[in-house]
Structure 1
């Protein structure tokens, strides 16, 4: 489990999360990786409580990939062009990163929208 807390600024929106100053939120690993090192955030990895009913650690590790697959299936939303155009730059860049792209290589909003539309179709196949 990961958490992030906005420590500078008033609000910050990234990858579907809206952070408010001094409020800690649970986040996914990819959001943690994106925000870790950002001066505006205090990010940390929190160890989940140990389930005493399990004596073998192996089943816990077997459960993790299934959980990660579940999360990625939930988050593979197909965006329409009008939805993308209505988003701000930060939200578009988060989607580009999710699709494996580098937002710094895209010059403007139209390039980000085109990239997302093209790559989400490939990701869905």
Structure 2
């Protein structure tokens, strides 16, 4: 079993999973392999004991970090928001764009296609820069 926890940003969507800040989520091996090493995540392989059906107490002892991560106290301040260019946005897939729309307070289901998602993101980024939010 594998878990991943988003440690930077508000939400992140990948391979059918939507991650929210500081919420650990069970994931499949291929998602673990994709996210392991991503600075926005803490990924772990949880080894459940085959002999002992106790998973609550036992799994906490068996958790082995996939790699060393920086302490969680060093999270980025919420005021630092990544500003995406139109070129960057065009290079992203739908899921990545939808995650950004959600971060900006939008509803991706209200946007019909890629061009509407990009326009929404660019417009809302400008509004956030002006208001300083």
Structure ranking higher in helix proportion: 1
| TM-score normalised by length of structure 2 | 0.47
| TM-score normalised by length of structure 1 | 0.50
